[in-house]
Structures are given as C-alpha cells and as structure tokens.
Amino acid sequence: MIWNEAKECMPRDEIRALQSSRLVKVVNRVYHNVPYYRKKMQEVGLEPGDIRGVEDLSKLPFTTYEDLNAAYPFGLAAVPPSELVRVHASSGTTGKPKIGVYTRRDIDIWAECVARCLTMAGITRDDIIQVGYGYGLFTGGLGAHYGAEYLGALVIPMSTGNTQKLIDMMIDCKVTAIACTPSYLLHVAEDIEKMGVLDKIHLKAAICGAEPWTDEMRDQMEKRLRIKAYDIYGLTEIFGPGVANDCEYHRGLHIWEDHFLPEIIDPSTLEQQPEGGDGELVITNLTKEGMPLIRYRTKDLTSLEYDKCECGRTMARIQRFRGRTDDMLIIRGVNVFPSQVEAALLTINGMTPHYMLVVDRVDNADTLEVQVEVADNIFTDEISSLEKLSKEVHDKLRQAIGLNAKVRLVEPGGLEHFDGKSKHVTDKRNLYK
C-alpha cells in the first residue's frame, strides 16, 4: 500500500526538479530570515542566487551540532516566534540539547511523512496502534502519535514504563500495530511468552526505530510475535521519526526526498560522494518552516541507493547503517554521549574522570553499567557512605542522560587507560555489522 503515490513513486527526473525548486526556496528563506545562516553563507561568499538547483548543493556550508549549540535555542528559527507551535529536543554532545522547532505546517508534513511510513507497514485507518515511545521532548511519542492520527488509525498513547499494562490493553483492545524501539518490542515479546498469551494478541505489524537494529532482531520479533516488523528512521534536528522507512522488500529505508534532500559525504575530506558511495549521511530540509537545516551532518555512516524499488517507490533508500562518526551511543532509544556522563560524574566531589560505560543487551533489553574508580579521596571505611556515593552517581546520571544505570565501584587502576586518554565505552551489542 502507498499513501501518496504521486510523490512516493515520482519519476527520478521529476524528484530532482522538485528538489531543485524547493532547495532554491529554502536557501532564500534561511538567507533572508536567519542571520546565523546569512553570515555563514556570506563567509564563503555565497548569495542565494548562486544556488540554482540540486547541482549547486555542494557549494553550501554544512550545519553541525556546533551550529545548533551556538544558535541555541531559537537562533536557527526561520519564522517569527508566533508561528512556532512545538519544540522537541534530544541530547547534545556537551551542554545544550539538540533542539527542533516546528510550525503548524511542519507538524502536518511530519504527520504525513509518518503516515506514509505506517502505510508502508500495511497499517490503515482500520488499525489500532499502540505508541510505546516516550511522550515528551523525545520526538518518538508525539511523532508517531500525530502520524497515526493523520492516517486515521485508532491511537493508544501508551508511552513507556508499564509493559504489563501495554500487554493487557494489547489483548483487551485487540491492538493490531505497535510503534516502539526494537529492543523494547523484544522485551514485550518475552513477557507475552512468559504470560502464555501469544494466542490472545492480534498484532500484525510493528514500526521500530530510535535505535539501530539487526536483521537477526527482525527475524526474532517476526517469528516470536507472528508479525511483520519495519524500520523507521529520523532525527530530532531534521524532524523526528518518519524521515525514512523500509518497505516489505527490506532493501533499505526509503527517504522522503520531496521533504528531505539526502547526500553522502566523505567525513574526512567533506567531499560529496558519487551515487552509491559510502560515507556520512547529510540531510537538507526542503520544506520545513520552523527550523530548516541546510546540509545537516547526521554523523550516521551509510550509503544511498537510487534504483526503483520492487514496491514501486522511486525514493532513494538509505542502506544499513555502518556506524557513527562520533561516539554517540543509542541506549534504549536514548542518545547518550560519553562526554555527558563525564560531565555529570565530575560534578561529584573528588570524582576522577576514570570511568567506563558498559552497554549490553540482556534478554533483549539494553543495559547500561557505569564503572567508576574509587579514588583514595572518595573511599571511606563505611559501606553506607560508599552506597551513598553509588546512589549519587546513579542520580546524577539519571538527571544528565535520563537513564537508570547500574553503578559499579571498581578499584583504582581497574579501568584501562590508553595513552593517558581513557577508552570510555565497551559496547557488547554489536549493532553495526
């Protein structure tokens, strides 16, 4: 099923023409409405007239997290504040969160993008869908919610945190679709098996995103829950979930090129790669009004395929993600930077920057253990004080990254230090293959 055939199956030359005219418009808008962008363009001697189409894309300067941070919170907004209706945010590398602002029209376009993705997963207005993403600053909850409503499905806004209730309602309301992180869905599958209620559920499709996952995970959830599972991609800065989604042929994630202009660059030379080349995914917002980003570096490593898909769609496909150019971790769908953890730890009196994050997946749920060295000055002879220290570390991390971590105190020198620069992450999940 296809939601918007005119756009999703547009011939390649028409897509390019549409992108070119939209690119010219968005460049004009940011040049005239966003002093930050105007300055950036002037610094490289560019005027809006220099951009006549997609072929001129590589002349434009990139936008990075550092730009978002410098312009935080609303410095990149391209409309007056009265036009803005929503803010979402996710973790930044250091200091300020990555923020996205939306106009009413942005919310509508975003909802249509999500509706296209849901339709791709075979979901229609006759379906009952549970949204198991967190509602709040995170784009997952409200993004999936608005998209499903736009489609006309019946939405149950579960949010996160109560698996028992989710399963109960899944049975009672005869839920047919779910949107949540892939690791959470596997956790749900496990509980359904434990409760022995697999025969009472009516689930047929799952849209999973917010963290990378593997084909093995898809096989598992499809077999265990007797469903079809689809991968949805997005990022707060660009919109949120619904930027791209995979179809039943699983040949990559179709990116909605009428709204998002993708390109691949070599992250070291910053040169645009030829079609099919590997590198960092860079996205330009073509239609966003609130905060359109020009050549935003996603830091996700992948490639793009442009041939027509068996599903009939002509929109380019983002291939399997091969990693990131930075050290960002995605744990239970939450973006975590080691630098955030370090900053939080160092607010504790006497704490050294010797720590290790151990990320694993146990029974299909991500686990985060933070190992902290007990330096001389924080060691005490009383267990209760050491336990208080563990709790303080736990609470500070919860504040900083929004996750409950298991804190393990280790002996000084117990963590490996490499050339004075410690290696701070052990990720045992092996998500990028």
Partner 1 sequence: MYIKQVSVFLENENGRLDDALRILSEGNINILSVCIADTADYGVLRLILGESERGCKILKDAGMAARMDDVIAVVVENEVGSFGKVVKMIQDEGIGIRYIYGLSIPTDGAPIALKTDDQEKTVKVLERGNVKTLSPEDMQAF
351 and 345 in contact (C-beta within 8 Å)?
yes
How many whole angstroms separate alpha carbon 212 and alpha carbon 427? 13
Q: Is residue 386 a contact residue for partner 1 (CB under 8 A)?
A: yes
How many whole angstroms separate alpha carbon 304 and alpha carbon 106? 25
How many whole angstroms separate alpha carbon 404 and alpha carbon 390? 12
Residue 202 Cβ, how far from partner 1 at the closest point, in Å? 42
Stretch of 42-50, 125-133, 331-339, 406-414 lying at the interface with partner 1 (CB under 8 A): 406-414
Residue 411 Cβ, how far from partner 1 at the closest point, in Å? 5
Q: Is residue 353 a contact residue for partner 1 (CB under 8 A)?
A: no
111 and 146 in contact (C-beta within 8 Å)?
yes
Q: Is residue 379 a contact residue for partner 1 (CB under 8 A)?
A: yes
What phi, psi does 256 have (nearest 5°)? -75, 90
Binding mask 110-149 for partner 1 (x = CB under 8 A): ----------------------------------------
Q: Is residue 384 a contact residue for partner 1 (CB under 8 A)?
A: yes
Other CB atoms within 10 Å distance of the CB of residue 411: 9
How many whole angstroms separate alpha carbon 183 and alpha carbon 190? 11
Residue 313 Cβ, how far from partner 1 at the closest point, in Å? 52
Of the candidates 49, 94, 375, 391, which one interacts with partner 1 according to CB under 8 A? 375
Of the candidates 17, 403, 409, 425, which one interacts with partner 1 according to CB under 8 A? 409
* Residue 384 or 430 with smaller CB distance to partner 1: 384
How many whole angstroms separate alpha carbon 144 and alpha carbon 218? 20
Task: Give which of 321, 317, 254, 259 is closest to 284, Cα–Cα.
Answer: 259
Stretch of 117-125, 175-183, 264-272, 372-380 lying at the interface with partner 1 (CB under 8 A): 372-380
172 and 197 in contact (C-beta within 8 Å)?
no
Q: Is residue 380 a contact residue for partner 1 (CB under 8 A)?
A: yes
Residue 190 Cβ, how far from partner 1 at the closest point, in Å? 24
Cα torsion for 244, 66, 336, 268, to the nearest 10°? 70
Q: Is residue 408 a contact residue for partner 1 (CB under 8 A)?
A: yes
Of the candidates 268, 381, 419, 430, which one interacts with partner 1 according to CB under 8 A? 381
Q: List interacting residues with partner 1 (CB under 8 A).
A: 374-376, 379-384, 386-387, 408-414
